[in-house]
Structure 1
Amino acid sequence: MALVALTECGPGSLVVRGVKWLWSKNKPLAVTAVVIIGAIKVNSYIRRQKLRKKWDSAGKDVVVLHMFKRGKFCPNLSPFVVKLEMYLRMADIPYQIDYDEPMGPKGKAPWITLNGEDIADSQLIIERLGQQFGKDFSGHLTAEQRAVATAMRVMVDEHLLWAIAHWRYVIERGMPLLNCMEFPYWSRFIMGHYVKKVKQVLWFQGMGRHQTVDIEEMGRKDLMALSHYLGKKPYLMGDKTTEVDCTVFGMLSQIVWNSPNSPYLKMLDTEFPNLHKYCQRVKERFWPDWNKCLNPPQ
């Protein structure tokens, strides 16, 4: 939901198999089911067309940012949503927020609509917007510095992410998600199913095959690498913010504001205080309306 989209059988194929089974057992009931499913699909199509009209009315070169609803303590419980929204603010690109359709063409959030075109994946979106709006915050970096920035981004997005996911969904069984964001009460009853899916993803990714103590140490080493490279600099690559700061802040925001009592928050408090100060510095610069971006606003 707010951290990672899961891969599973498409709902369409399951519906078809279900109708075939029902047809073999009770043809009148199967016909009724087909009529109901058809009505649902028609209604879904009409709803989608209305949403499309709404998104297209945003205006030329205005980004429609599709995302999950706001969190109680952080603007979002997805590091990738925070990453992309920070980039939009850093690049001074006008945008509107849409909560109606958070899952995009690739089954993940966030995604955007720009001038009638749908674009998915936070990193691909940032690269596309940078080209289209002529924004390059890393242009002053050397080739070596660019290589470091890329390595840091991949480490955060593809490794530290899974350590945090393991704590959030396996150790805490999804409770940080429920406690840090407004959900219908009934959602608590399906969290167990979602946690099971996350465990499967973690297993196939590889992180879930390790002992908890080893996973936490992997996460600690990632944070240590960030802390050592940041040093006393105001931002990761120096005196100026670059695109990689969006990635780093997006992920660290999940530790600082959405991971109460986690081992990673304790690491920031005790071992890597410069990362804690970094988060506060970025928040003050790019999120002066932070409290207004919470749900409920504070």
Structure 2
Amino acid sequence: MLLLLLPLLGLDIHDLIYYVGVFTIAAKILPLLPSLKKKLLGAPEELNVKNYEKDVVYLFQLPGSPTAPSMCAYAVKVDSFCRLHKIKCEKRNSMMARGKNGLTPFIELNGVEIYDSQLIIEHLTAHFKLQAYPDDKSAAIGHAVDRMIDKHTAMLNMQAKAGKLKDVVTVSASGKVPAILLPILAFVGSRFMKSKLESKIKASIGPYTEAEYRAMLRKDLVQIQTILDGKQFLVSEKPSAVDCTALAHLGVALFGMPSVRTTFDELIDSEELAALKEYLQRLKDTLFGDQFFDPESRA
């Protein structure tokens, strides 16, 4: 299909190889340009929001979809935390913006940049003098579950998407690029992402078979449901910080791209995990109401 489209675009196979190379190099270099400029030229740090409002969180994130506020789970984690604690948050969608650590999301608050979702939440908790959990025991349980979801379950979710990357790229880019270019973008983007993703998964979890990855993901989800144990939320009858992390990783996986089904969808739709799925729907409704989407994607 891809090769058949080349003549229509006035290209041949050599052009394709060239543009794939350019795309790959650009994808690696462009996000690094701001930090390279600062390091090589000694340029001062510049805020993205010059005339900021006091105590307003400016959240820089990847765009979302008609069914998810951002396709970056870590951005949804910060967004959820701000909603939980009624912190005013203004979101800035960007494919290129990066924090000082070269990643997204990051925030600007009162003229200071904070990166990494976990560091952001810790900073907001201290700055606004918040109580993340109702008591020490729930804080201990919440912290342990939070770290499992944020590190282990998140990686297993990514692994589940590895075989559907063409579909992920197609859905993400649909409406943003000419339809005739979608197959090329899906081919190039998925090839680039798959190699990077597989290396990250193997480094984080280890090399396993598809069946073994599936078994690990199922075990994580079953344990999260067991911790829920009939409660409205994970550690109490009201949502807390760990619920924000759960909605980020599990909610985005469930609601973000309903047309792209993965191992996660097969598991969460099973009778065994019915209570967990109900919890995610309840959590989404509690924190976002009917606003769990990116307004720009519906414009």
Q: TM-score range by the shorter chain?
A: 0.7 to 0.9
Report the TM-score, using the length of structure 2 for normalisation.
0.76
How well do the aligned residues superpose, as a CA RMSD in angstroms?
2.8
Q: Distance in 1 between matches of 2:59 and 2:235?
A: 27
**CA deviations over 1:233-267 (Å, ceiling 9, x no partner):** 11101111111110011111122113542222222
Q: Give the letter aligned to residue 151 of structure 1.
A: A
Q: Give the letter aligned to residue 216 of structure 2.
A: M
**CA deviations over 1:151-201 (Å, ceiling 9, x no partner):** 1011101101111111112x2235224325645336322331121111122
Q: Distance in 1 between matches of 2:98 and 2:203?
A: 22
SS of the residue aligned with 1:173?
helix
Q: Distance in 2 between matches of 1:285 and 1:276?
A: 14
2:128 corresponds to which of 110, 133, 142: 133
CA contact (8 A) 2:69 2:76 kept: yes
Q: Give the letter aligned to residue 164 of structure 2.
A: E
2:87 corresponds to which of 88, 93, 105: 93
CA contact (8 A) 2:169 2:189 kept: no
Q: Give the letter aligned to residue 93 of structure 2.
A: Y
Which runs of structure 2 are paired with 1:51-70 in the superposition (5 Å)?
A: 52=46, 55-70=49-64
Report the alpha carbon displacement of residue 291 of structure 1 after superposing the two structures with TM: 5.7
CA contact (8 A) 2:53 2:110 kept: yes
CA contact (8 A) 2:132 2:241 kept: yes
Aligned to 2:225: 227
Aligned to 1:21: none
Residue 178 (1) aligns with residue 170 (2)? yes
Inter-CA distance 97–112: structure 2 relative to 1 (3 Å threshold) = same
Q: Distance in 1 between matches of 2:122 and 2:144?
A: 16
SS of the residue aligned with 2:254?
helix
**CA deviations over 1:22-78 (Å, ceiling 9, x no partner):** xxxxxxxxxxxxxxxxxxx7xxx9xx99x9565131311111100011223211211
CA contact (8 A) 1:161 1:251 kept: yes
Q: Distance in 1 between matches of 2:256 and 2:93?
A: 20
Identity percentage of aligned residues? 23
Q: Distance in 2 between matches of 1:174 and 1:235?
A: 35
Aligned to 1:3: none
Q: Give the letter aligned to residue 276 of structure 2.
A: L
SS of the residue aligned with 2:220?
helix
Q: Distance in 2 between matches of 1:245 and 1:276?
A: 13
Following TM superposition, the consecutive aligned residue runs of length 4 or more in structure 1 with deviations greater than 6 angstroms are: none
Which runs of structure 2 are paired with 1:25-174 in the superposition (5 Å)?
A: 52=46, 55-100=49-94, 101-138=96-133, 140-141=134-135, 143-169=136-162, 171-174=163-166
Report the alpha carbon displacement of residue 102 of structure 1 after superposing the two structures with TM: 3.5
CA contact (8 A) 1:79 1:251 kept: yes
**CA deviations over 1:100-130 (Å, ceiling 9, x no partner):** 4542211221100111111000011001001
Inter-CA distance 278–180: structure 2 relative to 1 (3 Å threshold) = farther
Q: Distance in 2 between matches of 1:199 and 1:97?
A: 30
Q: Distance in 2 between matches of 1:177 and 1:74?
A: 15
Inter-CA distance 239–257: structure 2 relative to 1 (3 Å threshold) = same
SS of the residue aligned with 1:290?
coil
Aligned to 1:261: 261
Aligned to 1:195: 194
Q: Distance in 2 between matches of 1:52 and 1:181?
A: 30
CA contact (8 A) 2:106 2:116 kept: yes
Report the alpha carbon displacement of residue 134 of structure 1 after superposing the two structures with TM: 1.2
Q: Name the count of aligned residue pairs.
A: 254
Report the alpha carbon displacement of residue 205 of structure 1 after superposing the two structures with TM: 2.0
Q: Distance in 2 between matches of 1:90 and 1:233?
A: 18
Aligned to 2:283: 282
SS of the residue aligned with 1:112?
strand
In terms of mean alpha carbon deviation, does 286-295 or 71-80 score higher?
Answer: 286-295
CA contact (8 A) 1:72 1:180 kept: no
SS of the residue aligned with 1:135?
coil
CA contact (8 A) 1:291 1:297 kept: no
SS of the residue aligned with 1:296?
helix
**Alignment gaps of 5+ in structure 2:** 1-27
Aligned to 1:27: none
